[in-house]
Structure 1
Amino acid sequence: MELTRVDYIIMKYLKKKGSTTYFESMTLKEIMSAIKISRPTLYRKMVNLQEHGYVGKGCKSTNADTFFLSAKGIQIIENGGMAND
């Protein structure tokens, strides 16, 4: 998967906020407060990132899904957007 700029910004924000574990995950609303993107677009981006292993689905926050940056996503951010294959 080739990452877009928005994908990278989302992952970078998750890392900045420390959302790297199942219990420290963020809701779409929390992410949307910092990244100006519509809810449907953000949800599609998160599902796509999840399918490729860059983010994981965290614990429920009331009825909302939450997401966190996976180890694979952390590696991408730490390498400046470059994958180590």
Structure 2
Amino acid sequence: MIQLSLDGKRLYVTNSLFSKWDKQFYPEVVEKGSHMLQIDVDTEKGGLAINPNFYVDFGAKPDGPCLAHEMRYPDGDCTSDIWI
């Protein structure tokens, strides 16, 4: 799933969709956990670049492996929901 930040400068991407779909079509993601990347968006000149300093391995979390799903910005509202 993907979600653009409210300022339009960061795009968050995961290799997980919904747990039921992941279980059926991507069982290795369920077994190993999903990942999240950040893509920097150049809103001035255009272009996209993967941020090499941002990588979340949900398989390596203490209670993992986990799937990256419903995540929200702190103090956000319905316009800042991230459905990952």
User: 1 or 2, which has the higher strand percentage?
Assistant: 2
Q: Which has the higher contact order (CA 8 A, sep 6+)?
A: 1
The two structures share one fold, judged by TM-score above 0.5: no
Greater Rg, structure 1 or structure 2? Answer: 2
Q: Provide TM-score, normalisation by structure 2.
A: 0.29
User: 1 or 2, which has the higher helix percentage?
Assistant: 1
Q: Provide TM-score, normalisation by structure 1.
A: 0.28
